Structure 1
């Protein structure tokens, strides 16, 4: 891959990076004001940046071998440049001074795989700007700016979870986050465990539409129950009087919040795995976001003797799943499960 000096003819002034993320527990609870338990993945997005010598910003993606030019305050951009434009313009609306920059991006966070590659890019860029321009922004502020950059300049209605993990998390800990009040703390992974992420190979073509539909169903369920959000319900029996599918959708959110709270209280790896298995069953049966390929891949993981538990992760309707496995056995599990998955006619891949 080309280096910063190859592209811009000088050395970078600043280097910054941020990780992608995966949810160990807490699927579809964030937009219901609930609890999540994600972790940062080892893969990271790096940015190398320096001040521009003229009025133009220049952004180069080493992964895409693509360069884009942008004038601050100018026409909106699309593609990877839109995320960077948002990270420049949103802080500027708050009075932070950012002048034209040159940026090279390099990433090993899988793109389009539900592992928050966009949040990794935004947080990395904002960290770089903070250092380069001496911006007075703390790590929580970085996450908030990243979220607004994506909402306002990319048009994606993202939650704060992904940038929070990218800004505050690491791959050795879980980030317990209350999405209503943004209280958070880092928790250790269960003893004698590590996590892996496998991609089902099924494109998530309907994921965005499906998530919009599920969000609307959750909002309607909360309205009928007379609460601000499903976060306010802590007894699954309360939702039983709702019509279908609202009762099912609400039951998943309520029970998933309970699973996150139980895991965050401190459980063994085996108990954590049982919670993950229950999460997948709920995502499949109550929330209706699984597909046969994901069910097969999760089942193969759950049957492996070195796996504590597994579930689909992200929006669903395809995409990845995550498993908690015995420490030191991740590579063995990935190889065995992907071979068995391939024998059933599917093509998956290891992401983490």
Structure 2
């Protein structure tokens, strides 16, 4: 059978963290780091996965459950492709990626979406990018057991270079927002890796579920912040999680407006406040990332924040292009364990 190829980008979320599974807005953007999959369909139900950076090949089957192996997302994606009628059986896969694993830049979502896009090509199907994104989320939720929202999948399935995607995760309506040409959104890896399957992400999801019950609505991002403080009989941890979601949703709306009128100081302030909320109310930051964010701002970034699910990974900083080189050199000198990953601008 003929081999087909699909490439999808990594993504950075400029603002709007942990809102995507709580009925809120997000503002991700596609990066130049990317993942490419070569897929050759098979008649049987075998799955053979070869990936750069991993020795040998993984030999799996479509009938197997997730085993916490690096090939699990590939198996889950192929199972979903069969359910969608895009493939009849398994496949041989070759994976090449410049997206750092554990960075919070959606390497898992990129892999799943790339496989589904390759299967779409193989089947000559007209299934939409949004439908593939929804299928990719099913793989994460149901096969891998990661209770993620829809942001990552849409952000890598519907990429537009130089633009952010203002996505309403409740309705899947989205608009493309141009990024300023005079500023770069620079992504720096903290040197501390993360993975969504380590339990802490799931714990935050469960706390948000508790907030839904406590406040009597599913879309806790749409709660009035005053109402969150007014309800007395709520566990303080649950209140803090709801406070972050509601305030972060509003920060995304404000950030979209700031970008529309070119108000970079306002955007930077929103990014800084977002990081503080993730640190204090959602409690997903760690001290080395707090220090990296603080130094990024002190050295001249308009704003900076943790990006991704938290507990490690990357920060994103908004930096004037004419100051970018000096800023980056100074930041990496202070944080030798950190490293430059990528950037996006208009």
Q: TM-score with structure 1 length normalisation?
A: 0.87
Q: CA deviation at 1:44?
A: 0.4
Q: CA deviation at 1:274?
A: 1.2
Is the counterpart of residue 275 in structure 1 residue 275 in structure 2?
A: no
2:165 corresponds in structure 1 to 175
| 1:59–1:88 distance in 2 versus 1, CA, 3 Å | same
2:18 to 28, 38, 58: 28
Query: For 2:228 and 2:127, how far apart are their aligned partners in 1?
Result: 42
Is the counterpart of residue 75 in structure 1 residue 69 in structure 2?
A: no
Query: For 1:277 and 1:195, how far apart are their aligned partners in 2?
Result: 14
1:200 to 187, 190, 200: 190
Is the counterpart of residue 316 in structure 1 residue 310 in structure 2?
A: yes
2:133 corresponds in structure 1 to 143
- The question of whether the paired residues in 2 share the 8 Å contact of 1:19 and 1:41 is answered with yes
| 1:224–1:22 distance in 2 versus 1, CA, 3 Å | same
1:300 to 295, 303, 311: 295
Query: For 1:75 and 1:248, how far apart are their aligned partners in 2?
Result: 39
Query: For 1:77 and 1:289, how far apart are their aligned partners in 2?
Result: 26
1:41 corresponds in structure 2 to 31
1:5 corresponds in structure 2 to none
Q: CA deviation at 1:92?
A: 2.0
2:244 to 228, 239, 252: 252
| 1:64–1:171 distance in 2 versus 1, CA, 3 Å | farther
Query: For 1:147 and 1:211, how far apart are their aligned partners in 2?
Result: 15
Q: CA RMSD in A?
A: 2.4
2:230 corresponds in structure 1 to 241
Task: Pick 1 or 2: higher relative contact order, CA cutoff 8 A, min separation 6.
Answer: 2
1:340 to 307, 310, 334: 334
Q: Size of the alignment, in residue pairs?
A: 335
Worse-matched range after superposition: 200-209 or 307-316: 200-209
2:256 corresponds in structure 1 to 264
- The question of whether the paired residues in 1 share the 8 Å contact of 2:147 and 2:205 is answered with no
Query: For 2:291 and 2:255, how far apart are their aligned partners in 1?
Result: 25
Query: For 1:74 and 1:216, how far apart are their aligned partners in 2?
Result: 29
| 1:204–1:127 distance in 2 versus 1, CA, 3 Å | closer
- The question of whether the paired residues in 1 share the 8 Å contact of 2:29 and 2:159 is answered with yes
Query: For 2:42 and 2:137, how far apart are their aligned partners in 1?
Result: 26
Query: For 2:222 and 2:105, how far apart are their aligned partners in 1?
Result: 28
Which ranges of structure 2 fall in alignment gaps of 5 or more residues? none
| 1:94–1:301 distance in 2 versus 1, CA, 3 Å | same
Q: CA deviation at 1:131?
A: 1.0
Query: For 2:88 and 2:322, how far apart are their aligned partners in 1?
Result: 45
CA deviation string 1:162-184 (max 9, x = no partner): 11111002341111111111111
Worse-matched range after superposition: 244-253 or 89-98: 89-98
Q: Which has the larger radius of gyration?
A: 1
Is the counterpart of residue 108 in structure 1 residue 98 in structure 2?
A: yes
Query: For 2:123 and 2:195, how far apart are their aligned partners in 1?
Result: 40
Query: For 2:35 and 2:240, how far apart are their aligned partners in 1?
Result: 38
Query: For 2:112 and 2:186, how far apart are their aligned partners in 1?
Result: 24
Q: TM-score with structure 2 length normalisation?
A: 0.88
Q: CA deviation at 1:56?
A: 4.1
